[in-house]
Amino acid sequence: MLSALRPVGERFPLRFAASDENELGNIPDYQFHGFASGTQALAAAILHVRKQRADCTEPEVIIPAYTCPDVVSACVRAKVKPVLVDFAENSTQYDLASLKQRVTDQTIAIIAINFLGIPIDIPELRNVIGSKNIVVIEDSAQYFPRDITKHDWQGDLVTLSFGRGKPLNLFYGGAVLSHSTVSFDTGFDFSENMLSRQKFAFKHRLYNTLMHPGLYFWITQLPGLTIGQTHYQTCSLIESMNSDALAALIERIKEYKTTECNTKVLDWAKAISFNGQLISHRSYKYLRLPFLVDDAAKLEFCESKSEFSKLGLSRMYRKILPEFDDIPLDLGNSKDYPNALSFSRRLFTLPVHGDVKSHHLKKVEQLLKKM
């Protein structure tokens, strides 16, 4: 088996919208504000909340102990303290008892991270918040609805990413959606990110070529290229979305509406029996299919087999935030987050894109039977 399945990402045509008339202006209940990346959008959202809460001298933002380190970068950029909370057992939801304990009079926001298409139960968060002046920022970097006019977002602010590996991939950009009840402060005056249309088109051609199953294998073999490994990256700039990228995004949203998810993989995942399970959610709108295995050691054994990555199976982060030694903050002791820690060791994901065929699923099944 020489070709390799990429873990995520659909190839797509690049078109630039000719006019500003588009669905971004018709997102029910929300207003769109484009940024140069998802991390910058999240930093801008937190900065907005911080500005509203001038009463807090040491503002804190609650985040889960297991998530993308970019969430920490955004907190650092917005000069707030990230306060970590554990997951509930075998779940991507906050452990509500721990959450209650971590809310203080300095808490300005709770970040509700949609994990690969599994949303946080936001009404449950609002019960914990009660009458406190705490904003829910729904980080939807890993989820984008097929039809944006029929979305199911619920945060006061929603942040999006259109970067590599995201559902609506444009390999560039991010956004804040502000709810109509929130007046999003655009007074920060972010300058526009510079990116020429030619450079954008070149990146697109390169991306589409590299996403080809026959080529992806060779990319994974390049020395020095650590595909799939996550590192902390500093977020220094916050820039608004480039206008050409915005024109491309408008067309990409139209095109994204017409692509279907690979239901064959989903049906297979619901039926497969092995020493683990699909993390189920009623919406079944996954970016990748997340599975939790019973035994972390057996997952490591399977991962050591070369078929694992060739079949597009991948781990996410593999560790929780206090374990990233490149994060320039003391995030405490990983033992304080036992559920997130166990989750990080037992999670693997399977692609759902259109290049996954029945013969791949048969091989995945053989591999999983070894667990």
Ligand X SMILES: Cc1ncc(COP(=O)(O)O)c(C=O)c1O
Residues of this chain that bind ligand X (CB under 6 A) = 37-39, 42, 67-68, 70-71, 113, 139, 141-142, 161, 163, 174
CB of 337 to ligand X, least distance (A): 17
**Which CB sits closer to ligand X, 37 or 107?**
37
**Which CB sits closer to ligand X, 8 or 364?**
8
> Per DSSP, what are the bridge partners of residue 30?
179
Please name the residue ranges forming H helices in the chain: 38-52, 70-77, 96-102, 122-129, 197-210, 213-221, 243-258, 263-271, 296-303, 306-310, 338-346, 358-368
**Which CB sits closer to ligand X, 67 or 368?**
67
Sign of the CA dihedral with 121 first, then 115, 346, and 323 last: negative
**Which CB sits closer to ligand X, 92 or 107?**
92
**Using the 8-state DSSP alphabet, how is residue 132 labeled?**
S
Residue type, 117: G
Task: Sheet containing 347-351: give its strands across.
Answer: 276-278, 288-293, 347-351
CB of 57 to ligand X, least distance (A): 27
**Which CB sits closer to ligand X, 39 or 309?**
39
Query: Which position's Cβ is nearest ligand X?
Result: 38
CB of 159 to ligand X, least distance (A): 7
CB of 216 to ligand X, least distance (A): 19
**Which CB sits closer to ligand X, 42 or 247?**
42
> Per DSSP, what are the bridge partners of residue 239?
none
**Which CB sits closer to ligand X, 281 or 298?**
281
CB of 39 to ligand X, least distance (A): 3
Question: DSSP letter string over 17-63?
Answer: -SSS-SGGGG-TTEEEEEESSHHHHHHHHHHHHHHHTTT-SS-EEEE
Give the rounded distance of the alpha carbon of 186 from its chain centre: 24
**Which CB sits closer to ligand X, 24 or 158?**
158
CB of 329 to ligand X, least distance (A): 17
**Using the 8-state DSSP alphabet, how is residue 171 labeled?**
S
CB of 162 to ligand X, least distance (A): 7
Q: Are 82 and 329 in contact (CB under 8 A)?
A: yes
Give backbone dihedrals phi and psi of 243, rounded to 5 degrees, phi first. Answer: -65, -35
**What span, in angstroms and rounded, lies between the C-alpha atoms of 356 and 311?**
9
Residue type, 324: F
CB of 169 to ligand X, least distance (A): 10
**What span, in angstroms and rounded, lies between the C-alpha atoms of 9 and 132?**
40
**Which CB sits closer to ligand X, 113 or 120?**
113
**What span, in angstroms and rounded, lies between the C-alpha atoms of 127 and 148?**
27
CB of 172 to ligand X, least distance (A): 8
**What span, in angstroms and rounded, lies between the C-alpha atoms of 168 and 177?**
15
